[in-house]
Amino acid sequence: MSYLRLTANSIGDPGLKQLASNLKFLPTLEWLDLSENCIGDCSAMHLADVLPMLLNLRSLDLSKNLISDDGCEAITRELSQLNKITSLMLSDNQISSMGLDHAANHVWKTRSLRFMNISLNHLPQGGILGLRRAANSHGSL
């Protein structure tokens, strides 16, 4: 299986914990869409734990969930280990400028990342400066 779309299934934290433990059995997975599933930081951390095993992952969509700073940092930290990831969608979550600043520290290490959507979060204009610094040093984001 290369594409798994589970959009709008109300998976929530308990469901994603179980799903995350089974994702390791899908090493050929390239696209994972978990948007609109009431996923919070606890679930994001469980997902982050399994991300290094998804070596072929190219796109991860976690839009329209309940992920805040801790979950964002955990996801971006583990994504930095993947060589094929090109797209990360985190729009319409609860990420603040502090979470984005932590994420920026990891994003710059992710050389393959070309697209990151962080729209509709809790980001004042100044909160994007950390990501801008990462993009400038990265050269391709």
The CATH architecture annotation of domain 3-138 reads: Alpha-Beta Horseshoe (3.80)
Is the Cβ–Cβ distance between 28 and 1 less than 8 Å? yes
For the chain, domain boundaries: 3-138
pLDDT tens digit sequence for 53-86: 999 999 999 999 999 999 999 999 999 899 999 9
User: Using alpha carbons only, what angle is made at residue 47 by residues 50 and 110, rounded to the nearest 5 degrees?
Assistant: 75
pLDDT of residue 139: 55
Tell me how far apart the alpha carbons of residues 42 and 28 are, in angstroms, rounded to a whole number: 25
Classify the C-alpha dihedral 55-56-58-64 as positive or negative: negative
Q: Token match 């391709």: residue?
A: 140
pLDDT tens digit sequence for 31-44: 999 999 999 999 99
Look up the pTM and report it.
Answer: 0.90
Whole-angstrom Cα Rg for the chain: 14
Helix (H) or strand (E) holding 115: strand 115-117
